[in-house]
């Protein structure tokens, strides 16, 4: 089969077909069913011969070609060749106070598209306890959003997701082990130090984003004891999802 890429063939919402192990029928062939197959058929109008970018979760990427379409059963079969290595894991991490579930779903997708290596979720004092009951904190809830972000950004590296229902045990006992070395920043409105200025662009960096009403003084102090430096994301008051995007964009721009 010819392996000519077609970079302009895919709309932004599905720039890469990210294959899971269960979809790979052989090392060179996959069968897609469900929402993505429906999108390929109904939205993109995929026919036999259509070129696709293809990757495997946490693995390499390459080019594929549609070899069969079953519209009645909603099945698309693809032959592919994976000839490009997996991208490096992003060097930016996110520590986030759990927001409202609808917001969290958007954040998962957006920050994965921007590029994060780890997402650490915890309860802040100002987080409603009901937010912790969402299925989005379980793998079956958040993985579809992470995969959508990767398919948007043409990446295959799934972020690590860590969920802690209590803030104090996290910062006192486990945060150092999870994060490892690197710059540690906490968004705080009183700081005059820009996030990009505090990040030297060497090694890893993690930024902590609080709830809509902000971290409490105790939480800022506890994060400070873990090596977090207060930073500013600008003079404007931002929603949580906007703050996550702004922080990661500023840090990415500061990276070499």
Across residues 106-120, what is the average pLDDT? 97
Q: Distance of CA 170 to CAs 75, 123, 155, 203, 228, Å? A: 44, 10, 29, 23, 14
pLDDT in the model for residue 146? 96
Q: For the segment 45-83, what is each residue's pLDDT rounded down to a tens digit?
A: 888 999 999 999 999 999 999 999 999 899 999 999 999
Tokens of 251: 């840090």
- To 10 degrees, what angle do helices 139-153 and 101-114 make? 40
Q: For the segment 150-208, what is each residue's pLDDT rounded down to a tens digit?
A: 999 999 999 999 999 999 999 999 999 999 899 999 999 888 888 888 887 778 899 99
For the chain, what's the residue count?
256
% of the chain with per-residue pLDDT over 70 = 94
**φ, ψ dihedrals at 56, nearest 5°:** -115, 150
- Domain edges within the chain: 12-84, 92-254
Residue pair 53/72 in contact (Cβ under 8 Å)? The answer is no
What is the residue-averaged pLDDT of the chain? 90
pLDDT in the model for residue 32? 92
pLDDT tier at 12 (50, 70, 90 boundaries)? very low
pLDDT in the model for residue 45? 85
CATH homologous superfamily of 12-84: Hypothetical PUA domain-like; domain 1 (2.40.240.20)
Nearest to 173 by CA among 210, 229, 225: 225
pLDDT tier at 13 (50, 70, 90 boundaries)? low
CATH class of the structural domain 92-254: alpha beta
Q: Which residues pair with 51 in a beta bridge?
A: 65
The pTM score is 0.88
User: From the CB of residue 10, how many other CB atoms can be counted at a distance below 10 Å?
Assistant: 20
| Identical fold between 12-84 and 92-254 | no
Q: For the segment 125-144, what is each residue's pLDDT rounded down to a tens digit?
A: 999 999 999 999 999 999 99
Residue pair 250/91 in contact (Cβ under 8 Å)? The answer is no
């Amino acid at each position: 089969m010819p392996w000519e890429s077609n970079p302009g063939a895919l709309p932004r919402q599905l720039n890469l077909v990210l294959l899971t192990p269960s979809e790979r029928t052989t090392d060179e062939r996959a069968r897609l069913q469900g929402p993505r197959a429906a999108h390929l058929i109904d939205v993109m109008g995929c026919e036999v011969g259509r070129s696709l970018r293809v990757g495997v979760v946490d693995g390499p990427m390459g080019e594929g070609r549609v070899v069969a379409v079953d519209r009645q059963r909603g099945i698309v079969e693809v032959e592919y060749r994976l000839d490009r290595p997996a991208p490096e894991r992003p060097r930016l991490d996110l520590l986030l106070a759990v927001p409202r579930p609808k917001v969290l779903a958007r954040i998962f997708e957006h920050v994965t598209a921007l590029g994060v290596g780890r997402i650490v979720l915890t309860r802040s004092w100002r987080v409603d306890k009901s937010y912790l009951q969402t299925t989005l904190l379980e793998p079956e809830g958040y993985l579809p959003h992470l995969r959508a972000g990767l398919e948007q950004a043409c990446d295959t590296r799934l972020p690590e997701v860590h969920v802690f229902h209590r803030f104090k045990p996290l910062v006192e006992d486990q945060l150092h082990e999870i994060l490892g070395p690197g710059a540690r920043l906490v968004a705080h409105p009183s700081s005059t130090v820009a996030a990009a200025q505090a990040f030297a662009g060497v090694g890893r960096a993690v930024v902590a984003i609080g709830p809509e009403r902000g971290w409490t003084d105790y939480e800022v102090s506890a994060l400070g004891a873990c090596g977090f430096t207060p930073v500013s994301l600008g003079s404007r008051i931002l929603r949580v999802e906007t703050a996550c995007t702004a922080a990661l964009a500023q840090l990415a721009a500061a990276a070499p």
